[in-house]
Amino acid sequence: MKAKPVLVAVLVVVAALLAWRMFRTPDRLVHGRALDRREIALRVLGEHLASQTTGQAALIVANPFGQMPGQARAVYAFEEAAIRGLRSGWGDRIRLVGVDYPELTPAARRDPSSVPLPPDTTTPLSFLTAQGAWDALASKHPDATLLVSVIGLPAGLQALDCWSNPTPRFALLLPDLRLVGDAQAIAAAFKSGKIVAAVLNRPGAPPETAAIQPDDRDEFEARYLFVTATNIDDLIELFPALF
């Protein structure tokens, strides 16, 4: 008489496990693909930097939360993917000075969600770093001729010495270029060499759930725009909303 309730209980557990797998597996797949795409994007950026700035020294500016204990595993995984991509892209042609983190504001350290952000920002960390934090990084690593940021650009950019001085130069992953200024100011930053290159999301790219293409370059071209001094004017004309 007890066999039937036990069987029902087992079936309920099995059904629950199947449902968990049904809903969780796509999440894991999307997360894994996002990591792979991040590494691809940074590898392409690293290859370009190596071809244009061989022999220079680079500082990777990374997510400050990535050095704090107790964060979600994704925070650490995304930082590791970025560093791995850059290093595989530039090999030994660029010297890695190190990976460092701009200081957060006290409010951001206490509770990042309490910091007011522009509703359309694509780089929240632009508004969570302390005033002068990026200048402090540049001063701490004076031999770094390149700042390779995987967290965008800081708010108040124009007031920073590291921006107004000839060096360091910048290379950027998925920045909000509107922090530089209007389209004319953005174009000038690329043409002057202050921004060596930037990777932007391509409007109309396939959804994140799409499978990654076998060839990394094909995947990059489908999902990203690679911005340099040579194509900035064309891209501003084609994708004005990005600038």
Instruction: Give one word for 153, left, alpha or beta, with left for phi > 0 and alpha for psi -120 to 50.
Output: beta
Instruction: Give the other-Cβ count within 10 Å of 47's Cβ.
Output: 17
User: In this structure, are residues 224 and 199 in contact, taking their beta carbons and an 8 Å threshold?
Assistant: yes
pLDDT at 230: 97
The DSSP annotation for 95-113 comes to: EEEEEE-PPBPHHHHH-GG
Query: 202 by DSSP, 3-state: which?
Result: coil
What's the pLDDT score for residue 140?
A: 97
Query: What pLDDT is stored for residue 120 in this prediction?
Result: 85
From first CA to last CA, the distance across the chain in angstroms is 72
Q: In what order do the strands lie in the sheet with 146-149?
A: 95-100, 57-61, 146-149, 169-173, 195-201, 224-227
At residue 29, the pLDDT reads 57
* pLDDT tens per residue across all 243 residues of the chain: 444 443 333 333 333 332 323 333 346 656 788 999 999 999 999 999 999 988 899 999 999 988 887 777 888 888 899 999 999 999 999 999 999 999 999 999 999 989 999 888 889 999 999 999 999 999 999 999 999 999 999 999 999 999 999 999 999 999 999 999 999 999 999 999 999 999 999 999 998 889 999 899 999 999 999 999 999 999 999 999 999
Report pLDDT for 73: 83
User: What is the pLDDT, as a whole number, of residue 25?
Assistant: 39
Do 138 and 162 form a contact (C-beta atoms < 8 A)?
yes
Q: Are 115 and 127 in contact (CB under 8 A)?
A: yes
Strand pairing report for 169-173 and 224-227: unpaired
Q: What is the pLDDT of residue 69?
A: 78
Q: Which of 195, 243, 200 is nearest to 221 (CA)?
A: 200
- Give the pLDDT of residue 28: 61
SS3 state at 148:
strand
| pLDDT (0 to 100) of residue 138 | 97
- Which pLDDT does position 21 carry in this prediction? 34
